[in-house]
Amino acid sequence: MLAVQWRTMRGDDNSGVFIRCPPLQDDVRPALERGYEVQIDDQGYNPATRRYWDPLHITGAIYKLAPARIVTSRGAALWNEFEITVQGASIRVALNGEEVSRLDHASREPRGHIALQAHHQGSHVQFRNLQVRRL
């Protein structure tokens, strides 16, 4: 189980928490292609469709794989907490105490690293109190 607190500083900030990702260097693509990203993007912007509020891209979604069924983030400048539980092929994401997404048949890497995303220049997201607990 991974617990981490985070906050955005503006409503258009974008970030994420990677789990089960391979070692990274200068290229984030292996994390996106072989790991899982729990999204932090309150606008839910989908770059392929150029639309906002996409459930597969909004805060709490397992990026492109499991939609966020509800949005429970508190907004810019307020602290939020993810609790990400990974057991076998199941990934569950709770945001501020409420389950928001779930992937029951995770088929990518069964092991890997945890990484905090710095999405792009100018996106200001802060993290604190990261805790990992073996289940």
Per-position DSSP letters for 47-91, written without gaps between them: TTTTBS--TTTSTT-BTTTB--SS-----TTS-EEEEEEEETTEE
pLDDT for res 120 = 66
Sheet with 2-8, strands from edge to edge, namely 98-103, 90-95, 80-87, 2-8, 125-132
pTM: 0.94
Considering the domain delimited by 2-132, tell me its CATH architecture: Sandwich (2.60)
Helix and strand numbers (H, E) in the chain are: 1, 8
The per-residue pLDDT string of the chain (135 residues; one tens digit each, 9 = 90 and over) reads 999 999 999 989 999 999 999 988 878 888 889 999 999 999 999 999 999 999 999 999 999 999 999 999 999 999 999 999 999 999 999 999 999 999 999 999 899 999 998 766 777 899 999 999 998
Q: What are phi and psi of 112, to 5 degrees?
A: 160, -165
